[in-house]
Chain A
Amino acid sequence: MPALVIGTAYDIMSKIAPPRAAFVDHPVGRTFGPPHDSSRHHAVLSRALAELPRFSYSGEIRDIGCQWSPGGGREWEAELRAEMLHDR
């Protein structure tokens, strides 16, 4: 059965090599966007689904161009790192 992974962890998806993976550049646990932002959730899922016919080989990861911060800032990484290191 055709399967598509929609994920935030590029390094893990690279190792696992699922048949098709859509990379969303968001923090883990916020794959489709901030809470209660349904237009953003719609946009992320629609972009991921639109990639389906474009995959051409198993293990391909396609960046669907979704950034967490509107300007592409990476400030969220420090917060996520602290959150995850606290999670032991």
Chain B
Amino acid sequence: MTEDRLAPPTFDPADAAAAAKRFAASAPADVHYALVDSPVGTLVAAATPRGLATLSYEDFHGGVDAVLDNLATKLSPRMLEAPAKLDDVRRELDEYFEGRRRDFDLKIDWALASDFGRRILKATAAIPFGEISTYGKVAAKAGNAKASRAAGRALGANPIPIVVPCHRVVGTNGQLTGYTGGLHRKVALLQIEGIVLG
């Protein structure tokens, strides 16, 4: 203690870090997220109490912080990193990439999709493992056969790739067109499912 100051108490930063970790693991946030490693890159997985809201290829969306900032704006800033709350997502993805899973049983929160986008994504979710469809067919299934371009845009903005298998949607003559994580990933995912396009 000097004339006009009092030295702050000593503390172990590891204690503070542990307390913060306990908080993030147990507090009721609006959005829980975790980084998930996969053979097609690092994914940011984020879930609300309603279900999985996004699975983002972080490198394709400006990095992890940019992905999280975007979620804070679009969903809620009450976000915590809570890997244990995304255990089922991680497990199902692992099984998919190991060839032991063909369908995902995860609850989905469609909050990040528009109404039309939601119909397109649900039609896409119905395409079976190992099969492909076209933008036109998906648009028709969503109730508007003429909306294949809009379907393409909705799939390009798919907030939950892999689980909602937009990689199974290709152009009419089989060309890959685009993918929300880059075409190389679309190729890789189709290969996992035994599909090789020219």
Q: Do A and B bind each other?
A: no
Q: Identify the A interface with B (CB < 8 A).
A: none
Q: Identify the B interface with A (CB < 8 A).
A: none
